[in-house]
């Protein structure tokens, strides 16, 4: 591998100031640091440093997303063949899904990283790894049939308006991936909701008779609980053989990711736990009120349906847009759980409340932090007056 | 007598701990570095060729002329080394084999008034051993500190064993404590390690002090942690602190009437062949101990102090004024292919995306590589786990970075010094320079206050 290092060292001067391509410096630096941990040594403060860096942290999250992504691909194929009533082997099913999902990932990464590279170069910064996660999240939270150009537009919007104008990764207020989804949801609602978008039928193919295409949550929204429970068993929902956004359907795959995230400790278990607790408690409360059918849906089933689990594990826990104080994390998480179920059950216009609940709490996270920190300040003031 | 449990923190286990053997390392080369004293602007009293004795004033603080730094040895000033903007970096002294001392009066500090003690300490230069919080500069003799703190153990990586160092120094240590007791109306706290069966009788038998016990890993031995638990610094308050060997030096001033700059230091680190202790003096060149102990490689970093807070002094450097150890570790100026995604079992991390947390017994040979690039704050929640103060570290450092003085005050910056946030800096995945940012914040406040 010394040869590779030699090549890099040889071409490196071209990208430095006074070289031939100084305007590509950030991009070159991005690729170089991807290949090699740089030879930078500590200048001030601690002489030795922890082996962790942003790349390691982000890759841990990407790995945690993989089970849900792979299952999502399989499920796209599974739903397709089920809808057209054909029988296919495991690999046919998976490859169909892979072929459907891969373009979304390519577009999302292409557009997002392109913008990241440009902005980093303009600012003269190193390229930030944050988009490695965002770029994978975006395809996982959209329906499979969303047009590629829409994904491109939404990604660009999320990266520029959601992140770069605030100063890049680490400075954003709301979760960029969710912002992309919200953009699509409100700009192109026909492609983001309803019964038509969740399953790819494909050109030239026809759905079997009696095919509905609705998600379990869609059925729940219109109060069709008999159909909900007749069409899908609980094990379908746990394993994820139901229509929905690409990565959100399998509770099991998401929990596998959650286990990985919690093992590596890159995100807060406090947030994850309190989202589930908040959602479950709200579900129970509605069970007690029981004013309509939706309110009677068992509380634990809420946690399996739609994007609740995915949001709780991968979205609410985003360390940048969530609360930064340990106490605040409980409040923030619980409120997301409560709001998500509240929006689901009480708002007839939206079948899913998770996205809006998280975005709303993203905005309020600094306020929660402010109040928690204020307590600490007051405690210190009291110490003086004692 | 109270015991405090410090649960939050992090022990970084390094290869190269010192064997409990003290060797002599005579050297002719000494240097006093004005940069060791925070916020001090030196005005020289000597020039090249001046003959000095141990205790002869070398320079004083331009902004507080009472504060004098004196020579640790006798001999001749060989060079005044200046850096950028003619800033004085080193006053080099060639030492005689037989040290001659400036003779001061000998008295039992119990028979002296506070003024007399302060004056004796100031004129002999040992006053500089006393440091204060806030800011971590040399204590101002006009202040009335609400308490004085002495930590009798060090939990930092490869730190020296104070029980070994203090052995046989009981009288000097007690005399030093007696002198300190007259300096404050409050208590003198002597903080010992709980659960350490080998605590020296020098400490256990200390009188005229309040003895407290602290239990836990690093930073339980940091005086900042102890102050926070015992008697935290609020706005407008001042506490003083010093280390064990500094108390002994003060004691010897009153016992022997001399400025005895003897220091027992641990010469440690993975690059040292035979790490052990040396008896030397403040400002001694590290060349001699390095020769005796042996160094494995050339591409190494010499640190006066520990790996978390020490100063990079180079192979030709000199022991810092306040330091009790020299650490030698490999430089990390090399590339590592795909390092960030490898298992890296030989690397240490507090984060669980590496597996070092499953091997708590393992000792590491860490180099000076930054292990990444600087980024904005992203991952959180871990800093609080290594920071045992009732303070929000991330919020505080952000206030320091944004120069928000009110917020820094509200969040408790007066309690902190660099060593307290060193672990936060160590574990930071964004590679933010916590210690430098904190110092900038403190400097800004000090400037605004004066």
Residues B271 and B251 in one domain: no
Residues B290 and B234 in one domain: no
B232 touches chain A (CB under 8 A): yes
State the number of CA atoms in the 13 A half-sphere of A71 facing the CB. 25
Contacts of A376 in chain B (CB under 8 A): 390-392, 411
Do B67 and B187 lie in one domain? The reply is yes
Asked if A138 and A222 sit in the same domain, the reply is yes
pLDDT tens track for B392-433: 999 999 999 999 999 999 999 999 999 999 999 999 999 999
Question: Is pLDDT above 70 for A149?
Answer: yes
Within a domain: A293: yes
DSSP state of B358: G
Question: Does B331 contact chain A (CB < 8 Å)?
Answer: yes
Give the whole-number percent of chain A exceeding pLDDT 90.
58
* Rounded Cα–Cα distance for residues B155 and B161 (Å): 9
Is residue B389 within 8 A of residue B415, CB to CB? The reply is yes
pLDDT tens figures, B338-370: 888 888 888 899 999 898 888 889 999 999 999
Searching chain A, which residue's CA lies closest to the CA of residue B384?
A: A326
| Residue B376 sits in the same domain as residue B277 | no
- Final residue of a structural domain among A245, A266, A287: A266
> Token pair for residue B19?
């064997």
- The 10s digit of each residue's pLDDT in A169-190 is 889 999 999 999 999 999 998 8
Searching chain B, which residue's CA lies closest to the CA of residue A171?
B376
Find chain A residues with C-beta within 8 A of B218's C-beta. Answer: none
Does residue B351 form part of some domain? no
Query: Is B390 among the domain residues?
Result: yes
State whether A119 and A245 are in the same domain.
yes
- Averaged confidence pLDDT in chain A: 90
B59 and B122 housed in the same domain: yes
* B403 reaches A (C-beta below 8 A): no
- Measured between CB atoms, which of B334, B378, B422 is closest to A169? B378
Residues B273, B409 within the same domain: no
Query: Residues A131, A167: one domain?
Result: yes
| CA nearest neighbour of B252 among B131, B101, B76 | B101
Q: Would you place residue B288 in the very low, low, confident or very high pLDDT band (cuts 50, 70, 90)?
A: very high
A47–B312: do the CB atoms touch at under 8 Å? yes
- In chain B, which among 38-97 make CB contacts under 8 A with chain A? none
How far is the alpha carbon of A265 from chain B, nearest alpha carbon, in Å? 6
What H or E segment, with its residue span, contains residue A268? none
Does residue A309 have a pLDDT over 80?
Answer: yes
Asked if residue A98 and residue A246 are part of one domain, the reply reads yes
Please indicate, yes or no, whether residues A246 and A273 belong to a single structural domain of this protein. Answer: no
Domain ranges, residue A256 = 54-209+217-266
Chain B residues with CB-CB distance to A56 below 8 A: 340-341, 351, 353-354, 372, 429
In a shared domain, residues B184 and B315: no
- The residue-averaged pLDDT of A106-113 equals 95
**Cβ–Cβ of A46/B307 closer than 8 Å?**
yes
Instruction: Please determine, for the modelled complex, whether the ipTM score is greater than 0.85.
Output: yes
A-B C-beta contacts closer than 8 Å: 203
Average pLDDT over residues A278-306: 90
Task: Give the mutation candidate from B305, B341, B370, B394 for the A interface (greatest A CB count, under 10 A).
Answer: B370
What is the residue-wise DSSP string for B69-128? Answer: EE-SS-EEEEEEEE-GGG-EEEEEEEEPSS--B-------GGGS-HHHHHHHHHHHTGGG
User: Rounded to whole angstroms, how far apart are CA atoms A224 and A114?
Assistant: 45
Average pLDDT over residues B364-381: 91
Q: Please give the sequence-ordered ranges of beta strands (E in DSSP) within B325-445, or none if there are none.
A: 325-330, 336-337
Q: How far apart are CA A279 and CA A349, in angstroms?
A: 19
Q: Which residues of A touch B431 (CB under 8 A)?
A: 49, 53
In this complex, do B234 and A384 lie within 8 Å of one another by their Cβ atoms?
yes
The answer on B108 and B250 residing in a single domain is yes
Q: Would residue B438 count as lying in a domain?
A: yes
* Mean pLDDT along residues A116-130: 86
Question: Does one domain contain both A261 and A277?
Answer: no
| pLDDT tens digit sequence for A341-383 | 999 888 877 778 899 999 999 999 999 999 999 999 999 988 8
Higher pLDDT, A10 or B115: B115
Mean pLDDT (chain B, rounded): 94
Where is average pLDDT lowest: A18-27, A156-165, A253-262, B156-165? A18-27
Reply yes or no on whether the pLDDT at B329 is more than 90.
Answer: yes
**How far does A32 lie from chain B, in Å, by closest CA?**
10
Number of domains in chain B: 3
> Residue A212: what pLDDT?
79
Q: How far apart are CA B317 and CA B284, in angstroms?
A: 8
Q: Is B63 exposed, middle or buried (0-12, 13-18, 19+ CB in 10 A)?
A: exposed
Identify whether residues A157 and A62 lie together within a single domain. Answer: yes
Q: Are residues B433 and B415 in the same domain?
A: yes
Number of structural domains chain A divides into: 2
Q: State whether A190 and A64 are in the same domain.
A: yes
Domain assignment of residue B348, yes or no: no
Same-domain check for residues B204 and B61: yes
Percent of chain A with pLDDT over 70: 99
pLDDT at A5: 84
- Residue A182 falls inside a structural domain: yes
Give the pLDDT score at A386.
66
Q: Which residues of A138-155 are buried (b: 16+ CB within 10 A; e: fewer)?
A: bbbbbbbebeeebbbbbb
Q: What is the pLDDT of residues B189-241, one digit of tens each?
A: 999 999 888 899 999 999 999 999 999 999 999 999 999 999 999 988 999 99
The pLDDT, as a whole number, for residue A351 is 76
If asked whether residues B224 and B268 sit together in one domain, one would say no
Q: State residue A147's pLDDT score.
A: 93
Same domain, B73 and B14: yes
Q: Is the pLDDT of residue B99 over 90?
A: yes
Nearest CA to CA, how far is B393 from chain A (Å)?
10
- Spatial CA neighbour of B445 closest among B227, B241, B233: B233
Q: Domain of B311: which CATH number?
A: 3.10.20.600
B328 with B302: CB under 8 angstroms? yes
Range of the domain at B179: 3-256
Q: Does B271 touch chain A (CB under 8 A)?
A: no
Domain boundary among B278, B305, B330: B330
Q: Which of A116-125, A207-216, B254-263 has the lowest mean pLDDT?
A: A207-216
Whether residues A323 and A230 fall in one domain:
no
Residues B14, B363 contacting (CB under 8 angstroms): yes
Residue B343 lies in a domain: no
Q: Å from B350 to nearest chain A CA?
A: 7
Contact flag B412-A380 (C-beta cutoff 8 Å): yes
Residue B4 forms beta bridges with which residues? B214
State mean pLDDT over A102-112: 96
């Amino acid at each position: 591998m010394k040869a590779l290092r030699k090549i890099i060292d040889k071409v490196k001067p071209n990208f430095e100031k006074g070289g031939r391509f100084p305007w590509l410096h950030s991009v070159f630096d991005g690729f170089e640091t991807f290949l090699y941990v740089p030879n930078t040594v500590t200048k001030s403060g601690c002489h030795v440093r922890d082996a962790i860096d942003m790349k390691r942290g982000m890759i841990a999250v990407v790995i945690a997303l993989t089970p849900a992504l792979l299952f999502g691909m399989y499920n796209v194929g599974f739903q397709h063949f089920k809808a057209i009533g054909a029988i296919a082997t495991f690999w046919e099913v998976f490859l169909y899904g892979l072929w459907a999902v891969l373009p979304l990932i390519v577009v999302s990464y292409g557009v997002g990283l392109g913008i990241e590279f440009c902005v980093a170069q303009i600012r003269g910064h190193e390229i930030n790894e944050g988009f490695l996660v965002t770029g994978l999240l975006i395809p996982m939270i959209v329906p499979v049939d969303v047009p590629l150009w829409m994904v491109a537009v939404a990604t660009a919007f999320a990266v520029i308006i959601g992140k770069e104008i605030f100063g890049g990764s680490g400075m954003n207020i709301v979760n960029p991936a969710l912002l992309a989804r919200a953009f699509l949801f409100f700009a192109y609602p026909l492609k983001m909701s309803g019964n038509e978008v969740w399953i790819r039928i494909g050109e030239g193919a026809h759905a079997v008779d009696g095919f509905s295409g609705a998600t379990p949550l869609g059925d729940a929204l219109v109060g069709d609980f008999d159909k909900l429970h007749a069409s899908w068993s609980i094990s379908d929902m746990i394993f994820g053989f139901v229509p929905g956004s690409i990565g959100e359907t399998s509770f099991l795959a998401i929990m596998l990711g959650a286990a990985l995230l919690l093992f590596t400790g890159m995100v807060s278990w406090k947030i994850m736990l309190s989202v589930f607790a908040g959602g479950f408690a709200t579900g129970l409360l509605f069970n007690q009120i029981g004013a309509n059918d939706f309110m009677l849906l068992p509380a634990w089933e809420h946690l399996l349906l739609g994007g609740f689990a995915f949001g709780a594990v991968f979205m609410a826990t985003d360390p940048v847009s969530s609360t930064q104080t340990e106490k605040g994390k409980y409040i923030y998480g619980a409120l997301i759980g409560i709001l998500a179920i509240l929006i689901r059950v009480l708002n007839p216009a939206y079948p899913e409340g998770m996205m809006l609940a998280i975005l709303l709490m993203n905005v309020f996270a600094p306020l929660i932090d402010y109040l928690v920190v204020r307590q600490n300040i007051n405690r210190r003031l009291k110490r003086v007056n004692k | 007598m109270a015991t405090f449990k410090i649960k939050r923190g992090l022990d970084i286990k390094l290869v190269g701990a010192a064997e409990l053997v003290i060797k002599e390392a005579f050297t002719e080369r000494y240097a006093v570095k004005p940069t060791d004293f925070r916020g001090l602007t030196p005005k020289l009293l000597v020039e090249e060729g001046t003959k000095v004795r141990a205790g002869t004033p070398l320079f004083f603080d331009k902004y507080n002329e009472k504060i004098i730094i004196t020579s640790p040895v006798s001999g001749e000033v060989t060079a005044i080394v200046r850096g950028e903007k003619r800033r004085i970096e080193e006053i080099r002294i060639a030492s005689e084999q037989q040290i001659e001392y400036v003779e001061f009066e000998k008295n039992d500090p119990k028979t002296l008034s506070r003024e007399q003690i302060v004056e004796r300490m100031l004129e002999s230069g040992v006053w500089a051993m006393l440091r204060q919080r806030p800011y971590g500069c040399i204590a101002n003799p006009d202040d009335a500190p609400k308490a004085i703190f002495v930590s009798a153990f060090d939990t930092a990586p490869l730190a020296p064993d104070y029980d070994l160092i203090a052995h046989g120094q009981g009288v000097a240590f007690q005399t030093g404590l007696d002198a300190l007791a007259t300096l404050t109306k409050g208590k003198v706290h002597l903080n010992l390690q709980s659960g350490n069966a080998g605590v020296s009788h020098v400490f256990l038998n200390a009188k005229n002090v309040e003895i407290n016990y602290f239990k836990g890993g690093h930073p339980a031995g940091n005086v900042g942690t102890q102050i926070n638990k015992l008697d935290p610094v609020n706005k407008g308050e001042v506490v003083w602190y010093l280390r064990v060997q500094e108390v002994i030096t003060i004691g010897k001033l009153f016992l022997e009437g001399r400025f005895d700059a003897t220091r027992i230091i641990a010469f440690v680190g993975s690059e040292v062949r035979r790490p052990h202790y040396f008896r030397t003096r403040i400002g001694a060149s590290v060349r001699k101990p390095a020769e005796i102990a042996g160094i494995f490689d050339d591409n190494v970093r010499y640190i006066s102090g520990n790996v978390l807070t020490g100063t990079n002094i180079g192979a030709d450097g000199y022991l810092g004024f306040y330091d009790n150890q020299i650490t030698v570790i490999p430089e990390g100026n090399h590339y590592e292919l795909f390092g960030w995604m490898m298992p890296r079992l030989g690397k240490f991390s507090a984060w669980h995306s590496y597996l070092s947390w499953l091997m708590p017994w393992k000792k590491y040979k860490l180099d000076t590589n930054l292990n990444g690039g600087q980024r904005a704050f992203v991952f959180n929640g871990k800093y609080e786990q290594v920071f045992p103060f009732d303070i929000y570290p991330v919020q505080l450092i952000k206030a320091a970075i944004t120069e928000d003085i009110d917020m820094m005050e509200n969040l408790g910056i007066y309690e902190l010094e660099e060593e307290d946030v060193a672990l936060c800096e160590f574990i930071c995945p964004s590679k933010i320079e916590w210690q430098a940012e904190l110092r900038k914040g403190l400097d800004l406040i000090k400037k605004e206050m004066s």
